[in-house]
Structure 1
Amino acid sequence: MSQTAPLIDPFARAITYLRVSVTDRCDFRCVYCMAENMTFLPKKELLTLEELDRMCSTFIRLGVRKLRITGGEPLVRKGIMTFFNGMKRHLDSGDLDELTLTTNGSQLARFADDLVAAGVRRVNVSLDTLDEQKFADITRWGRLKQVLAGIDAAREAGLRIKINAVALKGFNEDELFTLQEWCAARDMDLTFIEVMPMGDLGNEDRLDQYWDLKDLRARLGERFTLTDLAESSGGPARYVRLEETGQKIGFITPLTHNFCESCNRVRLTCTGELYMCLGQEDMADLRAPLRASAKDDLLEDAIRKAISLKPKGHDFDYSRQAVDGQMSRHMSHTGG
């Protein structure tokens, strides 16, 4: 097969979107993402910044058009702007359509201008509450004011911001319209995400936390006229427009809406493991072929073999009031 042939999985889906976790470390400990006392990976297991560049460049050569950088918290990785600046060459050449990241916002005040200079135009900020005490409770470490200041700095730098809020029953139900109005006032889009059954966090019962987004959407519909939008950002969200405000609201419903049919993405961990599906344990080790040769032939072969094993869909299911398909790894391991 030609080494320039695009990446097509067994279900005729072109793989054009790569999410890359550049670190498992974070300056928060959000309860649905990490255990309170996380054991982080030894640095020798992590891909170096140079290896991350080579890995992503190989995927881009094989047809990836969108690169999303995640963590942990990507901006706590030492020297991370070296990587972003390196990826800019693929934007400049036209081989990459978009370079973006998902962040908790804590470091945006430091890096917003640099990110814009590296070609980043949009960022997703994970923010579940605007209440300082609740923010401290869910992140365990707090610093809401620092996050809000980072969001302001990013907007001033010209970045387009989308807020991602995990919908948690009994936690932020009462902030539905607070979050919506706060985002509308700042011309920021808002996406709600159903809590996912990942990681054994010990003190969290996912069924008790689970807030069906059909209910959330219905509550929005009581106050606003909702128009379904056909557009997609390349991810799993479905969008509506609130006609009264013009605001765009997204819903990511992995548990009640199976969005697998159009899945065009794979996830690379900071140790070089490629997960073909967020909801499956199957993965391929790309670090070994990367380090085995200075040439990319072994790596390309390993990538193609991995894509040939991409499953049709995931196994998440809450419908029987049991967490079937629960993943044992933490969200921070694959970057969401």
Structure 2
Amino acid sequence: MHALAHPSASPALIDRYGRQIRYLRVSVTDRCDLRCSYCLPKGHTSFEEPAHWLSFVELERLIGAFARLGVARVRLTGGEPLLRRDLPQLAGRLKALGLADLSLSTNATQLARHAEALKAAGVDRINVSLDTLDRGCFEHITGRDAYAQTMDGLMAAKAAGLAPIKLNMVAMRGVNEHEIARMAEFCFEHGFILRLIETMPMGDTGRNAQYLDLGPVRDTLVAQFGLLPEALELGGGPARYWRTVDGAGRIGFITPISQHFCASCNRVRLAVDGTLYLCLGQEAKFEFRPLLRGGATDAELEAAIRHAIDLKPERHEFTEQPTKIMRFMSQTGG
């Protein structure tokens, strides 16, 4: 482990390109109860074995090491994170580490049962994946007739006081692009924040998705709703936000293909098996499970984290090499 020692005395995680890593996305399971067309391939069954999953004790210890090195934001993801038993318990343990922001990404099918417990555990905010307001289209995209469950979960989260609630809508040409304005109105009505996301060529599922350039979509929405650029940073992520004139409604645009944000990337992703992925569009990674199960000290974990951050590439190559990434999104962590 001595080879991983880092010369810097600063607690901050600074990569080779001067970016400070403040944001860790943590997958607690690679399993999901939906089969979204751009994420999981049909018939996929090659999930990680539970014995390979990091335990709550291991997650708490590793995330604690990241927190000591300046990571202040943690997002729990999957797969579908609420399929992991006792997730609110883990959320409470992580919040106790002193994180400035603890959030959750979910498809909301299980959210009605857990919303109040998540709020009580200290989850600050949630992102809900919702690509359509049409039940038939929902089933077409996700492979399940679970629209009612998702809406029940979404409204339970609102009632529990989880806020802000952001709706992540993957925009797909010929699939749901005609619903974008309707989704914006729905979000304005309920006080949600809409985030439109371009599909990414991750695995065959992502490459086969109907990519839609969000530039023209943004121009249309700006004209239709009189949107203004949002000066405030909302959540530390890559979305560029626009707001309504009265400030009550917001729409964010996540454009990894048409307008990438690599120069300001502040995040890394921890998969459920302890693999740290340094970039969605590159294969750079570091395995933490052997260290956690091999008796590594806290100092050795911190040195390993610094070493891993040094592996973070400058940018993805989705445009130049769209077939490069063979893993799909649920394997990486949302």
For 1:194 and 1:201, the matched residues in 2 are separated by 14
Equivalent residues of 2:89, 2:121 under 8 A apart:
no
Tell which deviates more after alignment, 106-115 or 298-307.
298-307
Segments of 4+ in structure 1 off by > 6 A? none
Q: Compared with structure 1, are the counterparts of its residues 313 and 294 closer, same or farther at alpha carbon in structure 2 (3 Å cutoff)?
A: closer
Q: Distance in 2 between matches of 1:198 and 1:110?
A: 32
3-state SS in 1 of match to 2:137: helix
Q: Which moved more, 1:309-318 or 1:184-193?
A: 309-318
What are the superposed Cα offsets for residues 253-275 of structure 1, whole Å, 9 maximum, x if unpaired?
A: 00011201111111100001111
> Whole-Å Cα distance in 2 between the matches of residues 300 and 325 of structure 1?
34
Give the partner amino acid of 1:35. P
The offset of 1:222, in angstroms, is: 3.1
The answer to whether the 8 Å contact 2:222/2:228 transfers is no
SS of equivalent to 2:204: coil
Instruction: Tell me how far apart the structure 1 counterparts of residues 246 and 11 of structure 2 sit (CA, whole Å).
Output: 46
Q: Where does structure 2 lack aligned partners over 5 or more consecutive residues?
A: 1-6
Q: Deviations over 1:261-306 (max 9, x none)?
A: 1111111000011111111111011111111115223222211101
What's the RMSD between the two structures over aligned residues? Answer: 1.7
| Number of the residue aligned with 1:216 | 217
* Alpha-carbon separation, structure 1, partners of 2:214 and 2:196: 8
Structure 2 distance, partners of 1:240, 1:201, is 30
Q: Does 1:21 align with 2:41?
A: no
Structure 1 residues 281-335: Cα deviation after superposition (integer angstroms, max 9, x where no partner): 11011111111115223222211101112111111117xxxx6354211100122
Shift of 1:4: 6.5
1:200 to 204, 209, 225: 204
Question: SS at the partner of 1:101?
Answer: strand
SS at match of 2:32: coil
> 8 Å contact 1:269–1:333 — kept in the other structure?
yes
User: Secondary structure in 2 aligned to 1:216?
Assistant: helix
Pick aligned residue for 1:175 from 176, 179, 190: 179
Count of residues in Structure 1 that have an aligned counterpart in Structure 2: 325
Give the aligned partner of residue 11 of structure 1. 17
Q: Please give the alpha-carbon distance, in whole angstroms, between the structure 2 residues aligned to 1:47 and 1:187.
A: 36
**Matches of 2:10 and 2:55 in 1, distance apart?**
25
Q: Residue type of the partner of 1:175? A: E
Q: CA deviation at 1:200?
A: 1.8
Query: What is the distance in 2 between the residues matched to 1:163 and 1:144?
Result: 14
CA distance in 1, matches of 2:63, 2:222: 41
1:62 lines up with 2:62 in the alignment = no
Aligned to 2:192: 188
Where do 5+ consecutive residues of structure 1 fail to align? Answer: none
Q: Quote how far apart the aligned CAs of 1:97 are.
A: 0.5
Q: Percent identical across equivalent pairs?
A: 48
Is the CA contact 2:191–2:248 (under 8 Å) kept in the aligned structure 1?
no
What is the aligned partner in structure 2 of residue 146 from structure 1? 149
What residue in structure 2 maps to residue 99 of structure 1? Answer: 102
| Corresponding residue for residue 328 of structure 1 | 326
After TM superposition, give the deviation of residue 45 of structure 1 in Å.
Answer: 1.3
- The TM-score normalised by the length of structure 1 is 0.92
| Aligned-partner SS, 1:200 | helix
Q: 1:294 to 1:315 in 2, by over 3 A?
A: closer
Q: CA deviation at 1:12?
A: 1.5
User: Post-superposition shift, 1:59?
Assistant: 0.7
- Alpha-carbon distance change, 175 to 245 in structure 1, aligned in 2, over 3 angstroms: farther
CA deviations on 1:197-225 (whole Å, 9 max, x unpaired) are 011239x733xx11110121122133121
Secondary structure, in 3 states, of the residue corresponding to 2:205? coil
Instruction: Report the 3-state secondary structure (helix = DSSP H, G, I; strand = E; otherwise coil) of the residue aligned with 2:293.
Output: helix
Distance 1:48 1:228, change over 3 A: same
CA distance, structure 2, for counterparts of residue 222 and residue 55 of structure 1: 46
SS at 2:154's partner residue?
helix
- Residue 10 of structure 1 deviates from its aligned partner by 0.8
Q: Distance between the aligned counterparts of 1:245 and 1:282, measured in 2?
A: 40
Q: Confirm whether residue 277 of structure 1 aligns to residue 279 of structure 2.
A: yes
